[in-house]
Amino acid sequence: MAKKSKKSAGKKDKDKKKQKDKARKGSSSSTSSFTEALQVTDGFVLADVDPRSTPHFSGDKQAGKDALAAADDELDALQEKLYAESRAGGRKRVLLVVQGMDTSGKGGIMRHVVGAVDPQGLELTAFKVPTAEEKKHPFLWRIRKALPGPGMIGVFDRSHYEDVLVVRVHDLVPPGQWKRRYATINSFEEKLAADGVTVIKVMLHISPQEQKERLAERLDRPDKHWKFNPGDLDERAHWEDYQEAYQVLLERCSTGHAPWFVVPADRKWYARLAVQQLLLEHLRGLDLAWPEADFDVAEQQERLADL
């Protein structure tokens, strides 16, 4: 009997160890953060990223949705702190740039991630085909006008990177002109960083199969027809050219002061969680502090008590 219980105790220990190993393996691989797991560094190859993968997260869809909901409050609180710092003269602000092929889920990021932040602390801009007025100016003109003020989180739904994406794929300007833009963008973003802007650039990476399914759904469902744009099919025909254009900009414009992050986006729940966590990790890294009161707190408390 004693022998048997000894055996089962040993088995229990083994089971526990197995569980721990399993948890360790599942627990987000070797990376210590979403920032580390998703950042584009030297030698990066876009085609090697599996759009269905879930780097730095081992849970399933429900766990991902729960994690997203659980972090909403922290995101909102950090934004408030960012804003509070600016009221005391701080210059810090955040710029989240979101790029991706059509149907990659940019809208979902705006609704489910950015939507958790107090709208008063947000400046959201969607960049469309430049207007006649915008076309009269250098490509960064409309971008500069949309930059977030101190204490704000600016979000770009598409951005100046369209000027080396759609413009490159369709030769909308002579090649000599768009080729110079990578360097122009890098020096622009370097200045932003020096001026207190934390630039987070996210590419939502979907597979062509997933895009086909999402486009088919838009056609199948009358409540989604409004989202379907026949022009998206014309763009889809240029899939490879776009992937090449993305590869080049990721290589050339992922810098120390403004890195790119490639977020696998075939699973919408993962992409939303990853972008939220990237924002959170960067906000935490800003070491924000509540400004000190510029009045005597005790004195004001006394006055209030008497009123």
Number of residues that bind ligand ATP (CB under 6 A): 14
Per DSSP, helices labelled H in 159-267 are: 166-169, 175-179, 181-194, 208-220, 230-236, 239-253
What is the closest distance, in whole angstroms, from the C-beta atom of residue 160 to ligand ATP in the complex?
8
CB nearer to ligand ATP: pick between 102 and 210: 102
Q: Is 127 in the site for ligand ATP (CB under 6 A)?
A: yes
**Per CB under 6 A, which of residues 34..93 are in contact with ligand ATP?**
none
> Which residues, numbered 208-267, are part of the site for ligand ATP (CB under 6 A)?
229
Contact present, 58 and 273 (Cβ < 8 Å): no
CB neighbours of residue 52 within 10 Å: 13
Supply the minimum distance, in Å, between the C-beta of residue 102 and ligand ATP.
5
Enumerate residues 95-114 that contact ligand ATP by CB under 6 A.
102, 106-107
Q: Which of 120, 128, 176, 230 binds ligand ATP (CB under 6 A)?
A: 128
Structure tokens at 284: 């935490």
3-state helix, strand, coil in the chain (%, to 5): 60, 10, 30
Q: How many helices (H) and strands (E) does the chain have?
A: 14, 5
Q: How far apart are CA 60 and CA 214, in angstroms?
A: 21
User: Which parts of 156-195 interact with ligand ATP (CB under 6 A)?
Assistant: 158, 162-163, 166-167, 172
* Site residues for ligand ATP per CB under 6 A: 102, 106-107, 127-130, 158, 162-163, 166-167, 172, 229
